[in-house]
Structure 1
Amino acid sequence: MFHSLVRSVAVPAVRLLCRPVVEGAVNVPRRGRVILAGNHLSFIDSVVINLVAPRPVAFLAKADYFRGRGVKGRAVRGFFGAFGAVPVERGGGRSALGSLEVARQVLDGEGVFGIYPEGTRSLDGRLYRGRTGVAWLALSSGAPVVPVALSGTERLQPVGRRVPRPHRVTVRFGKPLHFSERYDGVCTGAARRAVTDEIMRAIGELSGQERVASYNELPSGAAAGAGRG
């Protein structure tokens, strides 16, 4: 009830701020498990995707966002919950595996899960090498992957800015990529790398971004201020 109330207020406000242009929404299957794999330019990317996607999309969010107390804490929890955020503990090793398991639960429930294969926001606007968690999800669940390209969100809410400012954004949904038949349950390291690279090529074709062969790693001094989205 509270999430619905927050969404009823937040959706018109965000839509007014970003005046979204949406292309290819018909490419998102209306039923069954689906992975939306997008480029990542801003903290607000997940909110924008959920705003324009034809189905609710679940994204992972730091558990810290759900631990606040008082009116502010409740408002933050309500905002993230209203836009499909699922709380997870962040970190390496077991935390990363736990995040993938949470994603699998969404897909096993025939839902839509959103992921950013780059792992963190691009600070220079380029598209970095994808990490293979997205391929593990696709191959282990059999879900099709819809590539998503966002543009303008880096100006709607630049890195380090807490409050968004008005700026038009564009969201492009590409045609679904199907891997289950081609790989038939094979989930080796080589298969995950090949699938991830194909997904990143599709995102790059939609976004027009310059491709980078290396992984995106935040500068040590920027980690605290920019965070991972």
Structure 2
Amino acid sequence: MKLSIGGPLKMIFRPWVEGLENVPAEGPAILASNHLSFSDSFFLPAVLDRKVTFIAKAEYFTTPGVKGRLTAAFFKGVGQLPVDRSGARGAGEAAIKSGIEVLRNGELFGIYPEGTRSPDGRLYRGKPGGLARVALATGAPVIPVAMIDTEKVQPPGQVMPQMVRPGIRIGKPLDFSRYHGMEHDRFVLRAVTDEVMYEIMRLSGQEYVDIYATAAKRQIADAAKAEKEAGKAALARAAGEQGEKDKSQT
């Protein structure tokens, strides 16, 4: 499946890559990437010789019917691992356990520290609960990755991709062995996460925003809702004023 998907992706979109030599030929490593598009989880594995396992919501693997089976086969083929995300804390713990298991098997584990796609192309604050805990629990090196222009290939909400050449910039591995055994220290988790996010920012050239992407999405949604309500109110006022004007002319 990897070959059948990766080959066409590379041939059609011709993604450019820098720093492939920073991914070890064998052994465990964490690929920590910014997250601009749904297609990030396909382009990164396509340019690597090794399999990368990402976390995906369990619904992708359990939907009934022919479409559901095809979807499950597709996500398994591109290295997606199902995790039950019902309940925030349970979902986080399940993702951490899955990541640790992947790394203890000597494989590559892919993770998006922002926790969700960027709503506007900027880089948001990394969540310390997943990336840092997995890194410190396993001792695996963390390799920062910057996806470039993938949001232009497939903007949020758009099904058909655009013919844009994306890029992938892979940084040098980061060693956090100095924090071994401190995976439950929240200050250490924050420091590890911030160091990784700084490297991703440096590689990607993105503007950094020191809030979580989930909070930014809520702000954007609230602003859009407020603008919509203001528009409705303005139309109602205009209609009322017009009505009063019409009455005065009769």
TM-score of the two chains, using structure 2 as the length reference: 0.82
Q: Quick one: distance in 1 between partners of 2:155 and 2:12? A: 14
For 1:201, give the aligned amino acid: Y
Give ranges in structure 1 of 5+ residues lacking alignment. Answer: 223-229
| 159, 163, 170: which one aligns with 1:173 | 170
Q: Determine which structure has greater relative contact order: mean sequence separation of CA pairs < 8 Å that are 6+ residues apart, divided by chain length.
A: 1
CA shift in 2, pair 1:219/1:29, >3 Å? same
Q: Residue 227 of structure 1 corresponds to which residue in structure 2?
A: none
User: Cα deviation per residue 1:72-92 (whole Å; 9 max; x = unaligned)?
Assistant: 222212221111000111240
Question: Which segments of 5 or more consecutive residues in structure 2 lack a partner in the other structure?
Answer: 222-250
Aligned with 2:88: secondary structure? coil
Equivalent position to 2:63, from 60, 65, 68: 68
CA contact (8 A) 1:25 1:54 kept: no
Superposed, which structure 2 residues align to 1:95-106 within 5 Å? Answer: 95-106=91-102
> What displacement does 1:215 show?
0.9
Determine helix, strand or coil for the equivalent of 1:93: helix
Distance 2:25 2:106 in 1: 11
Shift of 1:162: 2.1
Aligned-residue CA RMSD (Å):
1.6
SS, match of residue 146 in structure 1: strand
Partner-residue secondary structure (3-state), 1:26 = helix
**Residues in 1 aligned to 2:6 and 2:136: alpha-carbon distance in whole angstroms:** 33
- Structure 1 residue runs of 4 or more that deviate by more than 4 Å after TM superposition: none
User: Secondary structure at 1:61's aligned position in 2?
Assistant: strand
The equivalent residue for 1:136 is: 133
Between the aligned partners of 1:146 and 1:80, the Cα distance in structure 2 is: 23
- Give yes or no for contact 1:129–1:215 (8 Å, CA) kept in 2: yes
Q: Is the 8 A contact 1:61 1:86 kept in 2?
A: yes
Q: How does 1:38-57 map to 2 (within 5 A)?
A: 38-57=33-52
Q: Which amino acid aligns with 1:75?
A: L
Output one character per residue of 1:143-171: Cα deviation in whole Å (capped at 9) or x when no partner.
Answer: 00000000111011110012323211100
How many residue pairs get aligned? The number is: 216
1:92-114 residue CA offsets vs partner (Å, 9 max, x unmatched): 01121111111111011111100
Cα shift at 1:11: 2.4
Percent of matched pairs sharing the same residue = 48
Distance 1:71 1:221 in 2: 36
Quote how far apart the aligned CAs of 1:207 are.
Answer: 0.1
Alignment-mate amino acid for residue 55 of structure 1? R
1: CA distance, partners of 2:133 / 2:42: 24
Correspondence for 2:53: 58
> Is 1:10–1:79's contact at 8 Å kept on the other side of the alignment?
no
Contact 1:17 1:165 in 2 (8 A): no
Q: Which residue of 2 aligns with 1:35?
A: 30
Q: What is the SS of the residue equivalent to 2:213?
A: coil
Corresponding residue of 1:92: 88
1:108 to 93, 104, 110: 104
Match of 1:213 among 205, 210, 223: 210
**How far off its partner does 1:203 sit?**
0.4
Alpha-carbon separation, structure 2, partners of 1:74 and 1:14: 22
Q: TM-score, normalised by structure 1?
A: 0.89
Partner of 1:23: 18
1-structure distance, mates of 2:219, 2:204? 27
Per residue, is there more helix in 1 or in 2? Answer: 2
Structure-1 separation of matches of 2:205 and 2:70: 36
Alpha-carbon distance between aligned partners in 1 of 2:219 and 2:126, rounded to the nearest angstrom: 20
Whole-angstrom distance in 1 between the partners of 2:9 and 2:65? 24
- Mapped to 1, the partners of 2:8 and 2:162 lie a distance apart of 11
CA radius of gyration, larger in = 2
